[in-house]
Amino acid sequence: MGIGVIGRKVGMTRVLAKDGTAVPVTVIQVPTNYVVQVKTPEKDGYSAVQVGAVDAKEKHLTKPLIGHFNKRNVKLLRYLKEYRVDNPQEYQEGQELKLEEVFKPGDLVDVVGISKGRGFAGTMKRWDFGGFPKSHGHRYHRAVGSIGNRTDPGRVWKGKKMAGHWGAEKIRVQALLIVDVIPEEGLILVKGSVPGPNKGVLFIEESRIASRKKQQLKQQRMKSLVEAVQQAGAQS
């Protein structure tokens, strides 16, 4: 597994390939990321790198967290994320991660974020239930319907899909294609949508399913598209 970075969602747009094909992309702003801590099997029992980003004020952090940064001579950072890596010896505490060295166009990444909170929602909106007939003579249209059986089991099963709070939960979108990387502006363009609102915090990492045959074929199929976008960008 490889290291990842912390970024913010800017919004969606499209980029044009050399042949005029429009590719829908999400723009992710990646501020300067730093290596805060390196964990090794000898000391910690596993290999990982803790990454931090976005400058923070001392009043916004707890004393243990401030001590964590001071111990490693790293400036105060607002967001931390730990990534499992196979080669922790290649990183140094306080090291600045260069975006172009972490990701390149054509890579497949997983993007993790908190989805938009949509408040209390009924079953049809939350779980896409079909609802009851909408013709005359029916008293219910968007109700949940029966939620259990008779005396047996005599209760509602755990996990039953019912009305409730929708959204504001961690979502992982897997195997998104990186269409372009603009290191001088700290931007990553990924094909498709990612969770959360604009300005929401995102964690971008190497895709967990990138080694699957289906994703390898997808990567090969999209290679020409990425190259066409690169060529169009170079000419503009």
Confidence of residue 236 (pLDDT cuts 50, 70, 90): low
Q: Which domains does the chain carry?
A: 5-117+169-235 (2.40.30.10), 120-166 (no CATH)
Taking CA 167 as the corner, what is the angle to CA 12 and CA 65, rounded to the nearest 5 degrees?
85
Assess contact for 202 and 196: CB atoms under 8 A: yes
**pTM assigned to the model:** 0.89
pLDDT at 233 over 80: no
pLDDT at 2 over 70: yes
Q: Which residue's entry shows tokens 């940064």? A: 69
Q: Which two tokens stand for residue 93?
A: 């505490």
pLDDT in tens, 94-148: 999 999 999 999 999 999 999 999 999 999 999 999 999 999 999 889 999 889 8
User: What percent of the chain stands above pLDDT 70?
Assistant: 98
**DSSP assignment of 161-187:** --SEE---SEEEEEEEEEEEEETTTTE
pLDDT in tens, 185-198: 999 999 999 999 99
